[in-house]
């Protein structure tokens, strides 16, 4: 019998059961649950039992044990039995583990399942308990009386798949045959245009399992709410909790709430402490609301790009007379107020946080992993990536999950507003071919129970911005009416006026006594300020676009687009790592009679949902603009050029009409939960595409840009600060390394929350313009030359292409890379100072003062971008103070070259140094967080790029620099052993 190294004897609180699990197909186990947890437990991973992934799914466990092919590799998914063909019993599995827990005195123990798909029978020490249906229902079982006296406990869980797993039509489609929509479960599992079917429909113990020990009185689902007055100078914290007394006598209790603020690191200061005494009747539940806690000028929580994400820790304790501390609950809390309304000027939904309008630039989120191999570490990487792109909102798409508290925790920390949908999608509910599930899920009461339980699970997170009934559809009328009632706003949150005299005058009810009360509920993603606002299918488009079209009045007609998508080809190393050699073939480019090109991908790319870089009759193939792709490496590199341009133009087009036409946009989509080939800024292996950095550039809080339709230089200021005494420097560089045009516009003053056209570019209207040229825009403070925004373009004349760049690859532009690294255990933090050392051209259009400015290192200055975080250039001085680690020294690497010009499209990658590397082996270390990547440097210019990552035990990292002019890549730093 396997034993988990878990011992909670004489301890109180939660212990997560996430290791030591076994699993077996139910038809291969010849004992029932009572026998498994008494006389015949499994003795280890011997047939039919195998090591199991918990939390996760049956299919994830089968993949772990190599009993099925990897469905994320090549066509492996095609070789796995689909539940529609195998039957539900094939994916009905036993999960088994043991734990040690010995209670004393008046202690009580709960066995908690935060998510099972779809239903289960639980056996503990020979006792059977049934768990109800529903993927998004929490289950808490009081097992106090059935724990073994000696503390050794045997747990077996028989998990049943969804009741209506559905079938996959030969043509595929959105949500298969739609039958999964009859259950309260994730709907993407029957396949989508970005996802192949999940063969077990995510059957399994997919979320956290824990045992939880308390005294006689237990705290249940506290609800925290803040209200503000006097323009946010005064704040009140409201807290309502449910208490359960499990004992046979009245419990005399001392209930306390403590609020602490983080000062620095792990140091906290106590801001408020309140204690009250109360009696809880025997064997009863009661609700209690603390008297309001008052705060003067609290530190506020702001979205990414608007200020700091100030978080307080709220701890609620209850002690019982004669017992001591009975239970404790804690949660991070942010003082903030979120509002939204339909903007009269644009018709789009406009969001405000702490009274400030927020221009929404974000993305659609499916889920972290298609097999639900979810982890805190992966969630942190995912959300930090979104913050790194300067996004301020993610939308949790309704065909996937009610996302987990761990995701919300990192959204709180990094400042990502969250739009959370419930489990309705138009493709599966009341739409599709044929139309099915016209009344949504079969069990409406179950849907509402899961929805209310989800609200209780997530409502205390400051990042949560709104609830939405479904994706491109509304829930059935009775469900929609119930959600509208349950999620109605408290009267305080229905008013913009901040100058109420006191909370009590607003309503006889405290906001925390509502199910939520603080955020709007919208019935569907195409209603009430989103798309056309009336449910018409007016989101999208989802294919490649001409970059200049994003800036045109005719591109999108509504104020807030919840979904607009495009391409997302990853780098060549990802293709090689996720496909056999036959998947490395690039598309055939088929010339059509109308002059356009149609891409014909290989079967593996087609299976992985590849979306082409052309749209015959509307958009010429954007990869072929750079010349015919020779091989996989060439194709993927050119795809990155297109990715960067495409997504930067998309966001800059929206920037250009901030508040005049648009209130926000969410890109479809930011990532893939499997190895798909469309709509992503980083792939499933966690390597970023160049589109990631195009978005990062365009979505910065203060941004200088070129309107590709009008050729006006514009400055976008999304912050609340006026920008005074600032200037713009525009310079054009040709392929010979000369600067035929340069202009400085000084003494600018720009209003907050506004986009300002500055001046029309005179180039290329001048005589003899170059067919292909580079444009560098710098926006800076005149007082100290601090760069506020830098934007680099490569452009061609109207009707032209970028084929001249092919010959430019042969130019060798000299570079100097100065690297410095700090090591703390397995964590590496690099600073790479890259300088284009080619001579500055002797151009009459470039003044002496301007010439000197090219040598300035932007990153060596402190830039205040309005987000409350100072992006200091002497980054490693901070790291020296914070990390008691090993300094790997200062190293200088030279890349020699005799040519003068722009060092184009430079990008770093990190690899494991291996002496016995196999041919084709993927040596990348992932993920890596870069301050920038896919960047270019004009002659004499320098930039500092920071990298941070963790390495596996015993691995030595090697940093490589690649670029358009540096095809083979060059090692620029190899860390010490």
CB 53 within 8 A of CB 61: yes
Q: Is the sign of the CA dihedral 479, 481, 486, 490 positive or negative? A: positive
Eight-class DSSP state of 317:
E
The dihedral region occupied by 852, where left means phi > 0, alpha psi between -120 and 50, and beta the remainder, is: alpha
Q: Which residue is catalytic, options 563, 599, 729, 820?
A: 563
Residue 125, CA distances (Å) to 39, 104, 155, 808 in order: 10, 18, 7, 73
What integer pLDDT is reported at residue 504 of this predicted model?
44
What integer pLDDT is reported at residue 780 of this predicted model?
98
Cα(194)–Cα(561) distance, integer angstroms: 20
Reading the block at residue 645, the tokens are 């341009």
Which own/partner pairs from 581-584 qualify as long-range (CB within 8 Å, at least 24 positions apart)? 583/74, 584/632
Instruction: Name, in order, each residue with C-beta under 8 angstroms of 179's C-beta and a sequence gap of 6 or more.
Output: 164, 165, 166, 167, 190, 436, 437
Reading the block at residue 460, the tokens are 């205390």
Eight-class DSSP state of 68:
S
Q: Over the chain (977 residues), what is each successive 10-residue block's mean pLDDT?
A: 35 86 98 98 96 98 98 98 98 97 92 98 98 97 95 97 95 90 97 96 98 97 94 94 97 97 72 95 96 94 97 97 96 96 97 97 98 97 98 98 98 98 93 78 97 98 98 96 96 63 49 93 98 96 98 96 97 98 98 96 98 97 97 98 98 98 98 97 98 98 98 98 97 96 96 97 90 98 96 97 97 96 94 93 45 39 37 41 58 93 98 79 96 98 97 94 92 80
Q: Is the sign of the CA dihedral 181, 183, 184, 185 positive or negative? A: negative
Q: Please report the domains of the chain, with CATH numbers, ordered by start residue.
A: 14-161+200-212 (2.60.120.260), 217-322 (2.60.40.10), 700-803 (2.60.40.10), 815-841+875-974 (2.60.40.10)
Mapping DSSP to helix (H, G, I), strand (E, B) and coil, where does residue 408 land?
A: helix
Give the closest residue to 873 by CA, choosing from 944, 940, 782, 822.
944
What integer pLDDT is reported at residue 852 of this predicted model?
41
Cα(485)–Cα(880) distance, integer angstroms: 54
The b/e string for 619-654 (b: 16+ C-beta within 10 A; e otherwise) is bbbbbbbbbebeebbbbbbbbbbbbbbbbbbbbbbb
The b/e string for 54-64 (b: 16+ C-beta within 10 A; e otherwise) is bbbbbbbbbbb
Phi, psi of 695 (to 5 degrees): -65, -45
- Annotated active-site residue 563? The verdict is yes
Q: Which residue is catalytic, options 208, 406, 472, 714?
A: 472
Ranges of beta strands (E only) in 57-191 are 93-100, 108-113, 119-124, 127-131, 139-142, 152-160
Reading the block at residue 769, the tokens are 């313009």
Cα(48)–Cα(95) distance, integer angstroms: 12
Cα(407)–Cα(392) distance, integer angstroms: 15
CA-CA-CA-CA dihedral for 124, 129, 133, 136, to nearest 10: -50
Cα(124)–Cα(156) distance, integer angstroms: 7
Whose structure tokens read 């690294």?
A: 821
Whose structure tokens read 């050392």?
A: 837
Bridge-partner residues for 742, per DSSP? 731
What integer pLDDT is reported at residue 12 of this predicted model?
63
- Annotated active-site residue 472? The verdict is yes
What integer pLDDT is reported at residue 171 of this predicted model?
82
Instruction: Name, in order, each residue with C-beta under 8 angstroms of 715's C-beta and a sequence gap of 6 or more.
Output: 702, 703, 704, 705, 723, 728, 748, 750, 755, 756, 758, 779, 789
Cα(643)–Cα(690) distance, integer angstroms: 6
């Amino acid at each position: 019998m396997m034993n988990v190294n878990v011992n909670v004897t004489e301890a109180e609180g939660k212990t997560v059961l996430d290791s030591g699990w076994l699993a077996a197909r139910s038809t291969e186990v010849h004992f029932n649950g009572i026998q498994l947890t008494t006389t015949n437990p499994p003795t280890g991973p011997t047939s039919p039992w195998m090591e199991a992934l918990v939390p996760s799914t049956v299919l994830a466990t089968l993949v772990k044990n190599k009993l099925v092919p990897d469905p994320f590799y090549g066509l492996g998914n095609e070789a796995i039995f689909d539940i529609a063909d195998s039957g539900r019993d094939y994916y009905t599995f036993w999960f088994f583990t043991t734990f040690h827990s010995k209670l004393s005195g008046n202690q009580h123990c709960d066995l908690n399942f935060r998510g099972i798909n779809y239903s289960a029978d639980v056996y503990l020490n020979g006792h059977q308990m049934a768990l109800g249906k529903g993927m998004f229902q929490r289950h808490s079982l009081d097992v106090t009386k059935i724990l073994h006296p000696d503390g050794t406990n045997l747990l077996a869980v028989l998990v049943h798949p969804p009741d209506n797993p559905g079938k996959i039509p030969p043509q595929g489609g959105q949500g298969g045959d739609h039958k999964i929509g009859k259950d309260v479960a994730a709907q993407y599992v029957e396949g989508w245009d970005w996802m192949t079917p999940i063969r077990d429909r995510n059957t399994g113990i997919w979320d956290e399992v824990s045992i939880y020990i308390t005294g006689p009185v237990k705290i249940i689902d506290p609800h925290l709410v803040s209200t503000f007055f006097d323009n946010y100078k005064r704040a009140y914290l409201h807290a309502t909790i449910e208490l359960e007394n499990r004992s046979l006598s009245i419990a005399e209790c001392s209930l306390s709430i403590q609020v602490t603020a983080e000062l620095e690191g792990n140091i906290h200061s106590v801001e408020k402490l309140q204690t009250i005494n109360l009696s809880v009747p025997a064997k009863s539940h009661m609700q209690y609301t603390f008297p309001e806690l008052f705060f003067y000028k609290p530190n506020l929580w702001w979205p990414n790009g608007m200020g700091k994400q100030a978080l307080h820790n709220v701890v609620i304790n209850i002690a019982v007379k004669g017992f001591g501390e009975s239970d404790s609950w804690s949660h991070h809390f942010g003082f903030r107020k979120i509002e939204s309304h339909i903007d009269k000027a644009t018709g789009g939904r406009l969001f405000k946080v702490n009274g400030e309008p927020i221009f929404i630039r974000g993305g659609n989120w499916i889920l972290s992993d298609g097999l639900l191999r979810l982890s805190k570490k992966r969630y942190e990487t995912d959300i930090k990536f979104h913050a790194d792109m300067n996004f301020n909102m993610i939308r949790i798409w309704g065909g996937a999950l009610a996302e987990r508290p761990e995701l919300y925790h990192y959204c709180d920390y990094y400042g990502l507003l969250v739009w959370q949908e419930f489990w309705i999608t138009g493709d599966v509910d009341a739409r599709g071919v044929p139309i099915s599930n016209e009344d949504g899920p079969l069990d409406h009461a179950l849907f509402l129970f899961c929805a209310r339980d989800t609200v209780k699970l997530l409502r205390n997170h400051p990042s949560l911005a709104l609830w939405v009934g479904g994706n491109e559809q509304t829930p059935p009328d009775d469900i929609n009416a119930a959600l509208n009632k349950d999620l109605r706003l408290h009267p305080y949150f229905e008013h913009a006026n901040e100058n109420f005299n006191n909370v009590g005058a607003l309503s006889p009810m405290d906001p925390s006594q509502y199910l939520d009360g603080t955020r709007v509920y919208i019935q569907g993603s195409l209603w009430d300020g989103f798309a056309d606002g009336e449910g018409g299918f007016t989101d999208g488009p989802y294919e490649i676009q001409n970059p200049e079209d994003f800036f045109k009045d005719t591109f999108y007609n509504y104020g807030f687009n919840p979904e607009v998508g495009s391409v997302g080809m990853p780098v060549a190393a990802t293709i090689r790592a996720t496909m056999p050699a036959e998947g490395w073939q690039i598309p055939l480019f088929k010339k059509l009679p109308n002059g356009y090109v149609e891409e014909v991908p290989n079967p593996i790319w087609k299976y992985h949902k590849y979306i082409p870089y052309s749209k015959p009759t509307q958009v010429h193939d954007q990869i072929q603009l750079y010349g015919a792709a020779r091989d996989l490496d060439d194709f993927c590199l050119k795809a990155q050029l297109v990715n960067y341009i495409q997504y930067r133009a998309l966001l800059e087009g929206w920037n250009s009409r901030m508040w005049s036409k648009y209130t926000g946009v969410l890109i479809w989509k930011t990532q893939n939960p499997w190895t798909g080939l469309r709509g992503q800024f980083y792939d499933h292996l966690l390597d970023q595409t160049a589109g990631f950095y195009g978005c990062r550039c365009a979505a910065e809080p203060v941004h200088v840009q070129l309107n590709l339709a009008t050729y006006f230089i514009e400055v976008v200021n999304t912050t609340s600060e006026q920008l005074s005494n600032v200037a713009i420097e525009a310079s054009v560089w040709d392929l010979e390394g000369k600067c035929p045009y340069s202009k400085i516009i000084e003494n600018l003053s720009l209003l907050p929350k506004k986009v300002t056209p500055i001046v029309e570019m005179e180039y290329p209207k001048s005589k003899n313009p170059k067919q292909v040229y580079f444009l560098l825009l710098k926006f800076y403070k005149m007082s100290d030359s601090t760069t506020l925004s830098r934007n680099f373009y490569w452009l061609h004349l109207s009707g032209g292409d970028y084929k001249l760049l092919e010959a430019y690859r042969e130019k060798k532009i000299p570079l100097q890379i100065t690297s410095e690294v700090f090591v703390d255990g397995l964590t590496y933090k690099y600073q790479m100072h890259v300088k284009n050392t080619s001579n500055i051209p002797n151009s009459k259009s470039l003044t002496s003062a301007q010439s000197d400015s090219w040598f300035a290192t932007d990153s060596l200055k402190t830039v205040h971008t309005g987000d409350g975080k100072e992006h200091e250039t002497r980054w490693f001085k901070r790291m020296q103070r914070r990390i008691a680690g090993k300094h790997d020294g200062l190293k200088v690497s030279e890349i020699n070259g005799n040519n003068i010009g722009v060092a184009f499209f430079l990008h770093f990658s990190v690899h494991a140094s291996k002496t016995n590397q196999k041919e084709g082996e993927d040596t990348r270390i992932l993920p890596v967080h870069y301050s920038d990547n896919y960047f270019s440097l004009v002659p004499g210019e320098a930039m500092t790029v920071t990298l941070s990552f963790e390495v596996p035990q015993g691995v030595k990292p090697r940093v490589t620099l690649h670029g358009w002019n540096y095809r083979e890549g060059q090692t620029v730093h190899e860390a010490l052993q």
